[in-house]
């Protein structure tokens, strides 16, 4: 086995036969992840269980060859991380496909693991939001932003919870374009759980896109998902609430940690904008 060079948070071994072994133990954290990943969201059993119970039976993401209590063997996908793709049309196609992903995850969750055992999912709920808010407060995030975050969390607490990826950023989505068809493989399911589906859409559309592009992605998901909620305006308000939640999550993630340049974003500036703080 050799080390997989593209690993960013956990040690990954290239098995050199088209498969990768991801080690989820705390001792296998690498680089900045050793001090950056909050312990309360880290469960080494989660991703292997998600592959066994949700992904493999419903053919979601990379194929899984084997898994244990804290490791998983998955196929090496010949694709690129979505963040490396500059074509808005590809991102819009991924957004529409995400509606299918959520439907399949919901079916997997309803299937009750198919006898594969319980999944130690993360509840992306008001209680988790409160923990992020407390960490962001300790990091010095303005009170007005935290108040708006509390209201946003209360709003989303009244929305249906479903199975979600939980960390659905472009760095965790592999894509390949074949003859105009966009193929998608979500990876890194360490924060998989249950919560409003709009949280995944907020993560996908985060970043420095022009508002017209972000709106096109959001609309693609909304239409493909069968127009969830009462109206586009109501769902868009939910999306803004979800965006504020992920801003505060990152502001409270690890105050002394700075993301790599390619993934850096002004989370405080966006949070202030969403909260109406000048």
Residue 270, pLDDT > 90, answer yes
DSSP letter for each residue of 215-251: HHHHHHHHHHTT--SS-HHHHHHHHHHHHHHHHHHHH
How remote is the C-alpha of 60 from its chain's centroid?
Answer: 15
For the chain, the domains span: 80-275
What is the mean predicted confidence (pLDDT) over 113-142?
Answer: 88
**Percent of the chain surpassing pLDDT 90:** 77
Q: For residue 10, name the pLDDT band (cuts at 50, 70, 90).
A: confident
Name every residue whose Cβ is closer than 8 Å to that of residue 63 and which is 6 or more positions away in sequence: 56, 74, 75
Q: What is the pLDDT of residue 230?
A: 83
Name every residue whose Cβ is closer than 8 Å to that of residue 182 and which is 6 or more positions away in sequence: 90, 93, 94, 97, 175, 176
**Percent of the chain surpassing pLDDT 70:** 90
Average pLDDT, the chain: 91
Choices 3.30.70.20, 3.30.1960.10, 3.90.1200.10, 3.40.50.970: CATH for 80-275: 3.90.1200.10
Q: For 232-268, what is each residue's pLDDT tens digit?
A: 999 999 999 999 999 999 999 976 666 666 667 899 9
Q: For residue 212, name the pLDDT band (cuts at 50, 70, 90).
A: very high
Q: What is the pLDDT of residue 148?
A: 98
Q: Report how far apart, in Å, the C-alpha atoms of 224 and of each of 30, 95, 127, 234 are.
A: 38, 9, 30, 17
What is the mean predicted confidence (pLDDT) over 185-210?
Answer: 95
Residue 116, pLDDT > 60, answer no
Q: What is the pLDDT of residue 261?
A: 63
Q: What is the pLDDT of residue 263?
A: 61
Q: What is the pLDDT of residue 62?
A: 96
Q: What is the pLDDT of residue 177?
A: 94
What is the mean predicted confidence (pLDDT) over 160-187?
Answer: 95
Residue 115, pLDDT > 60, answer no
Tokens 């055992």 map to which residue?
A: 117
Q: For residue 9, name the pLDDT band (cuts at 50, 70, 90).
A: confident
Q: What is the pLDDT of residue 229?
A: 83
pTM strictly above 0.85 = yes
What is the mean predicted confidence (pLDDT) over 10-30?
Answer: 87
- Of 3 and 107, which is predicted with more confidence? 107
Instruction: Count CA atoms within 13 Å of residue 48 on its CB side.
Output: 18
What is the mean predicted confidence (pLDDT) over 92-118?
Answer: 86
What is the mean predicted confidence (pLDDT) over 41-56?
Answer: 94
Residue 32, pLDDT > 90, answer no
Q: For residue 228, name the pLDDT band (cuts at 50, 70, 90).
A: very high
| Cα distance between residue 250 and residue 9, in whole Å | 16
Structure tokens at 271: 């949070």
């Amino acid at each position: 086995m050799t080390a997989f060079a593209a690993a960013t948070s956990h040690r990954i071994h290239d098995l050199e036969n088209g498969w990768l072994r991801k080690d989820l133990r705390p001792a296998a954290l690498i680089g900045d992840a050793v001090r950056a990943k909050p312990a309360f969201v880290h469960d080494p059993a989660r991703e292997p269980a998600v592959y066994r119970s949700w992904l493999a039976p419903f053919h979601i993401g990379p194929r899984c060859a084997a898994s244990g209590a804290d490791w998983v063997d998955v196929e090496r996908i010949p694709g690129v991380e979505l963040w490396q793709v500059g074509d808005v049309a590809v991102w819009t196609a991924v957004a529409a496909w995400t509606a299918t992903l959520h439907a399949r995850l919901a079916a997997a969750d309803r299937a009750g693991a198919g006898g594969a055992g319980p999944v130690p999912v993360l509840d992306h709920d008001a209680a988790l939001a409160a923990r992020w808010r407390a960490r962001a407060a300790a990091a010095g995030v303005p009170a007005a932003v935290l108040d708006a975050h509390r209201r946003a969390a209360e709003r989303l607490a009244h929305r249906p919870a479903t199975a979600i990826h939980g960390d659905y950023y472009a760095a965790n989505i592999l894509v390949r374009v074949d003859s105009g068809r966009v193929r998608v493989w979500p990876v890194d399911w360490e924060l998989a759980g249950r919560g409003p589906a709009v949280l995944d859409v907020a993560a996908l559309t985060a970043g420095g896109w022009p508002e017209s592009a972000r709106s096109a992605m959001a609309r693609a998901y909304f239409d493909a998902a069968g127009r969830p909620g009462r109206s586009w305006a109501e769902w868009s308000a939910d999306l803004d609430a979800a965006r504020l939640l992920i801003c505060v999550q990152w502001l409270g993630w690890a105050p002394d940690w700075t993301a790599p340049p390619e993934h850096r974003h002004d989370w405080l500036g966006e949070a202030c904008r969403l909260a109406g703080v000048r």
